[in-house]
Amino acid sequence: MRILKPMYVVAIAAITLASCSSLKNMAVPTMDTAVNATAKKGTINDEDFNHWAHADLATDSIPGMSLDKAYKFVEGKESTTVIVGVIDSGIDIEHEDLKDVLWVNTKEIPANGIDDDKNGYVDDIYGWNFLGGYGVDAPEQLEITRLYAKSKSKFEGKTAETVSAEDKAAFELFQKYEKAYNASAGTYIATMERLNQINATFDNVMKAMETDKISLESLQAFKTDDEVISAQVAGLVALYGRGATYEDFKEYYDSQAKNKSYDLEYDGRAIVGDNPEDITDLNYGNGAVIGSKDIESHGTHVSGIILANRTNDLGMKGVADNAILMSVRAVPDGDERDKDVALAIRYAVDNGAKVINMSFGKSWSPNPEWVFEAFKYAEKHDVLLVHAAGNDGKDIDVSENWPNDTADKINELCDNVLTVGAMSSNYDENIPATFSNYGQKNVDVFAPGVQIYSTVPKNEYARYNGTSMASPEVAGVAALVRSYYPELSASQVKHIIMNSGTEVDMDVLIPGKKGEKANFSTLSVSGKVLNAYNALVLADKMVNKK
């Protein structure tokens, strides 16, 4: 589950670079799932809009979760501390808004190389890193790449007529993998070809201008009789005119150039040292939960949404006020491994988490049974799992989206999983986020996921879009309910959140359907959007038998 791209990437994707050669009229392809939806500010000011997700529909004209109203409802009530596990890419636990709300394993002595608490993890002070390495990127292939690579060596060049009878089923799977891989990799290859051309354009223009720094003004002022260079300059002027810069392009270009998603030869587990196909091979990873700045922004943003310090007058306020963060690093720059997800859930459960956020997902899962068993393990230990529905604008009652809590898309295997779609701040036909997955059977509730302001590495803050942002809004409310009403089970909290949401009785634009509409109630099981105040009121009624 990746963060939707910043707006400079949208600009890069939209621009057409012209030249008299191969670059003439070349359109740069869309990079991943760009978001054009702009959140409406309604009646609140710009600073307050950073917390639009906390707003109240009645008082602010924005369909937020009524968080201030929720806190007034529980004012004066006692609360207990709730441990929230965040399974993600890495988290900047030194961030000013997170450092004081961390789970600390007090049974472990830091940096002594001994498993003091005998939980199977050495020096796990703030959580565990299942990706290996210390403060480095953890690139990985997509799952379809791994599946295709594994079967390619055996079946490449063979046909249905030449494979043995016992291999026919496996060969058919190979054909399925090959088709899916080629379809997906083809887009990336075409993207890289075009990005290489744009990079060459920058090189040509800067060489002609005899500089290694350019700006919109310098490009507009530059004159040349070379028609090719002149056309390339015009293309770059258009790029700058859309808000992008050379530095923006290089950042994106470099990230794509080192992308291992489709590299059939790459071994993403070399740094880890385990056998990813053996769920019993447990001796791997370390306590380095931060990761690198490039990828820890996702986990840091997610964490801030849930529980950024509400009392320090810095940056922002998280949803939950008496929650502490357990960081579990298991989401690489690529598709997460089923084994890592399953063990990450078990780690968080075994170490006391009562709510676990999972803002990640993929389209293929070779070992879903490992994750199903982890889900059931969490259910047995009364732990609520909150999962992002995905950003493909698809109906996941039909399309694959892993992990999930059903083997057949119909029957739930456990009753402790909430799957969350993303909504915008527009209380009209645009309320579903344009990118959000949906499903009347497999998405439980919608929550704010557009222009969400939260923590990012190095004491900074930013607005991101995605169901990755909607999921922690729900996890935060779940932690809030479990903090003030610890008597309630994970299953009860799940259904409280679903049943107490705000009803949206209107026809809305279906994500990914190009203008097609349906009643909002058909996009999820509950047909509702998250409301913290209503959740606490319902929890109070259940506990006090009102």
Q: How far apart are CA 89 and CA 344, in angstroms?
A: 12
- Active-site residue identified among 66, 261, 468, 526: 468
Which helix H or strand E contains 380, and what residues bound it? helix 368-380
* Two tokens, residue 334: 């690529």
Which are the contacts of 148, defined by CB distance < 8 A and separation ≥ 6? 174, 177, 178, 180, 181, 264
- CA 492 vs. chain centroid, Å, equals 26
CA dihedral 162, 167, 170, 174 (to 10 degrees): -20
Active site residue 500: no
Query: Annotated catalytic residue: which of 88, 92, 392, 444?
Result: 88
DSSP structure class, residue 402: B
- Do 167 and 6 form a contact (C-beta atoms < 8 A)? no
Q: Which strand ranges, in their side-by-side order, compose the sheet holding 528-529?
A: 127-129, 323-329, 82-88, 355-358, 384-388, 417-423, 445-448, 528-529, 502-503
497 within 8 A of 474, measured Cβ to Cβ: yes
What residue has token string 């579903």? 432
Contact present, 501 and 528 (Cβ < 8 Å): yes
54 annotated active-site? no
Bridge partners of 333, per DSSP, are 139
Please give the Cα distance from 423 to 406 (Å, whole number): 24
Identify whether 51 is a catalytic site residue.
no
Sign of CA dihedral 515, 516, 518, 524: negative
Give catalytic residues, as residue numbers. 88, 298, 468
